Homo-oligomer: A and B are copies of this chain.
Amino acid sequence: MNKLKATSFDIAYRAGVSQSTVSRALRNSPQVNEETRKRIQAIAKELNYKVDKNASNLRTRHSGTIALLLFEELDDTESHINPFYLSMLGSITRTCSKEGYDLLVSFQQFSDDWSADYADTNKADGLILLGYGDYLDYEGKLNELVEQGTKFVRWGAVVEGEPWLSIGCDNKNGGYLITRHLLSLGRRTIAFIGGADNHSPELYERYKGYCKAIEEAGYYVDLGLQFDAVTTEIDGAKALERLLASEKKFDAIVCASDLIAIGVIGALQEKGFQVPEDIAVVGFDDLTVARYSKPALTTVQQNTNLAGQMLVYNLLKQIDEAEVETRHIPAKLIVRESCGSKL
């Protein structure tokens, strides 16, 4: 059953035409006779012939393929990928296939020398970058990509004046909306758990929105109520310990992500606090678990479907050297139970 694959020469021989004509016919070139084309295509089908992509890609100098690089901070095999990126993957994959592109997926340890292998080796025409560890390190790598002329688009905070294309949620507005919601519910001393500096620009933006809402309501932002955490349950729980140890008073917590919020709620409940009665807790991302957590999480939704599409379309524009623009995805407040709305 391991018969050799047919080539365009085989088709040409059977059709009694030249190999060039076969190539044209198969690509539906308008300059080939209707009848001839049909005959050739019929023979191709019969022989189960498919154009060899390696050969055509080599010739045309592009691959019709996009590479998706997912960065993970964790060093180990068991690590779970952030479900947020996973849900984006769905829409990226679908958009690619709609546009006739194939998608290579790869997880990268942040420490890897990932430069741009897929692009450099001509396996992919461009890259989509999701996730990263410390932004300040990451920036350097991004600059290398730009220098090498690699086409790419990344998901993350949209910063003015960057020499690359970023697509991101309107994080600041999201942080603003959800904090304002808490304020409207009568909460007055609101803590923030999540990084709030340039090491994690997305979370920082959310923090800025939080600050804006508080100031707008006529209060002062207490810097002592912000505690760093990366986006994991464990880090959320740890940050809560520090919040508690600080002996500050607070009646609500804005968490910079759902994962953090879930860790915080678990730790809070363990200590005997009622959420949201004693402390309201809200998240960011609207992961699937937000709906199922107990209490169900009030959070900010980022439209991952739209996000995936924009990443792909903008990358393709870039590949085609077309106009491209840095863009925000809207942030949408999703009210459930953990904020205390139903109290």
Q: Any chain B CB within 8 A of the CB of A162?
A: no
Q: Is the CB of A121 within 8 A of B51?
A: yes
Chain B residues contacting A86 (CB-CB under 8 Å) are: 86, 89
Shortest distance from the beta carbon of A162 to any chain B beta carbon, whole Å? 16
Chain B residues contacting A55 (CB-CB under 8 Å) are: 54, 58
Chain B residues contacting A103 (CB-CB under 8 Å) are: 104-106
Chain B residues contacting A94 (CB-CB under 8 Å) are: 77, 107
Closest 8 CB pairs of A and B: A50-B120, A54-B58, A292-B292, A53-B121, A54-B57, A1-B149, A105-B105, A53-B123
Q: Any chain B CB within 8 A of the CB of A251?
A: no
Q: Any chain B CB within 8 A of the CB of A305?
A: yes
Which residues of A from 26 to 58 have beta carbons under 8 Å from B? Answer: 48, 50-55, 57-58
Which residues of A from 69 to 121 have beta carbons under 8 Å from B? Answer: 77-78, 80-81, 83, 86-87, 89-91, 93-94, 97, 102-107, 117-118, 120-121
Expressed in whole angstroms, the Cα–Cα distance for A317 and B303 within the complex equals 41
Knowing A147-B1, A149-B3 are in contact, say whether A53-B288 is a contact too (CB < 8 A). no
Interface bin, chain A: 35 or more
Knowing A55-B58, A58-B55, A86-B86 are in contact, say whether A93-B107 is a contact too (CB < 8 A). yes
Knowing A94-B107, A97-B107, A106-B93 are in contact, say whether A54-B292 is a contact too (CB < 8 A). no
Q: Any chain B CB within 8 A of the CB of A319?
A: no
Knowing A94-B107, A288-B83, A305-B77 are in contact, say whether A54-B293 is a contact too (CB < 8 A). no
- List 28 contacting pairs A-B, 8 Å CB cutoff, sorted by A: A1-B146, A3-B149, A5-B122, A48-B120, A50-B117, A52-B121, A53-B123, A54-B54, A54-B55, A55-B58, A65-B104, A77-B94, A80-B90, A81-B90, A83-B288, A90-B107, A93-B105, A93-B107, A102-B106, A102-B118, A102-B123, A103-B104, A103-B106, A105-B105, A262-B292, A288-B288, A288-B289, A289-B292
